[in-house]
Structure 1
Amino acid sequence: MRIRYPFAGAFLFLLILAAYIGLLPHSTSSSIPSNLQPNDKFLHVVTFFFLTLVFYWIPDTTRRRSLQLTLLICTLALGIGSEIVQAILPNDRPFDPFDILANLVGSLGAVGLCSWYHRRMLERRRKARFGALGDERGDDVELGGAGGSESGLGPQESGVMSLEQEVDNWDENAVDTWDAEEGADEYSAAAPGRGPESKVSPVNGEGAKRTD
């Protein structure tokens, strides 16, 4: 798994900025009028939306692994843990469960957006690399089409995965073996006399085609 350093640097900057604003003591009297002050819950939603949005693209890995890491670190650890730390620190900021709710809403919104875009990006990259894969609901057995649905077998029993499962587990950095397989097929097609229908004559040692 590789790291996208521009996204990692942006995430650290946003995290430090959010910690400075949310965890340090603040003055009760503000010079900004109350009617011009932004809503606190809205700030929580926006902050965790951008934190999660940037963190999702830090690991250069599969879509499923990026989704799991983002939910574990941003949504659960930061979204809930930040409010617990805020309540423990002596910064005159009380614990508010609605702040946790706002954090979760912003984080889950970013996770859904990034996951959808990541899936679309992988589908376009696969089509550009391997050619058109056809419709998800087509009759192609390799894509889990009608052949797998009629037998009633799941992907573990039949060995066939749907397009969505292939996209979730596909790593764009992996080395494919399609060139080697195509080379083996071309070699077998170029040597027709090596098939099982030919045998060596016991008389002169030359290849003779079976007539039976």
Structure 2
Amino acid sequence: MRVRKTFAAAFAALFCIAAFLGLAPQTIPAYKQSDKVLHTVTFFLLTLSFYWILETSRRRAVHITLLACTAGLSIGSEVAQGLLPNGRNFDPYDIAANVIGSGGALAICSWYHKRMLERRRAAKTYNLVPGEEGEVDVELGETIHREEQETGVVEAAEQTVTEQLDNWDENAEDWEDPDDDMTGKAASLSGNLKKATMD
């Protein structure tokens, strides 16, 4: 498992800010339970950054994040807040707000991770799957109309040498370039000879 340092640094910074604001003596005035939105947003961001720290399978990332953030931090922060002598009380509604924010972030991250893995798998096996040649992928910028259909020009299949020899006609006129000196002179001489013999 590889650690993504950017997400780890973001989680550490958010965790320090949340711990300072949550466990310090109450300095932010509360206006009729308005801190529930703050709890929800804080744990949404904490879970969002924690989910992407470890580069691992989706199932393992969901389980680790569920245990660490949704269960551990959401409940543990309120228990620690009630045990410390900082003038703050244990509030079950704060736990509910924490779990809602963390659960929402976990659901979004899990959905996006699943979609990302499906697209990566599809990109690896896109040309190997039979029967998909005629399908159109709008997300990749393909359109329904193709250039051959729009112009109406259908190119004939190129013939092999044996097919050309089988279809060769002795009586067909030569199609050499008249600008060519050698061929032009030869064509005019053969044309004059034909006229002379016909007369």
TM-score, reference length from structure 2: 0.61
Match for residue 131 of structure 1? 126
Q: CA deviation at 1:104?
A: 0.4
Total equivalences in the alignment: 129
State the distance in 2 between where 1:133 and 1:71 align: 37
State the distance in 2 between where 1:52 and 1:39 align: 21
State the distance in 1 between where 2:59 and 2:77 align: 25
For 1:73-152, list aligned pairs within 5 A.
Answer: 73-131=68-126
Asked if the contact 1:84/1:95 (under 8 Å) is kept, the reply is yes
**Root mean square deviation, CA, Å:** 2.0
* Structure 2 unaligned blocks of 5 or more: 130-199
Asked if the contact 1:5/1:58 (under 8 Å) is kept, the reply is yes
Q: Structure 1's 101 and 133: CA in aligned 2 closer, same or farther, altered over 3 A?
A: farther
Secondary structure of 1:91's match? coil
Match for residue 48 of structure 2? 53
Asked if the contact 1:8/1:58 (under 8 Å) is kept, the reply is yes
Q: CA deviation at 1:129?
A: 1.5
TM-score, reference length from structure 1: 0.57
Q: CA deviation at 1:20?
A: 0.5
State the distance in 1 between where 2:11 and 2:113 align: 18
Q: Structure 1's 126 and 91: CA in aligned 2 closer, same or farther, altered over 3 A?
A: same
* Structure 1 unaligned blocks of 5 or more: 135-212
Asked if the contact 1:11/1:55 (under 8 Å) is kept, the reply is yes
Asked if the contact 1:52/1:111 (under 8 Å) is kept, the reply is yes
Match for residue 16 of structure 1? 16
State the distance in 2 between where 1:100 and 1:91 align: 18
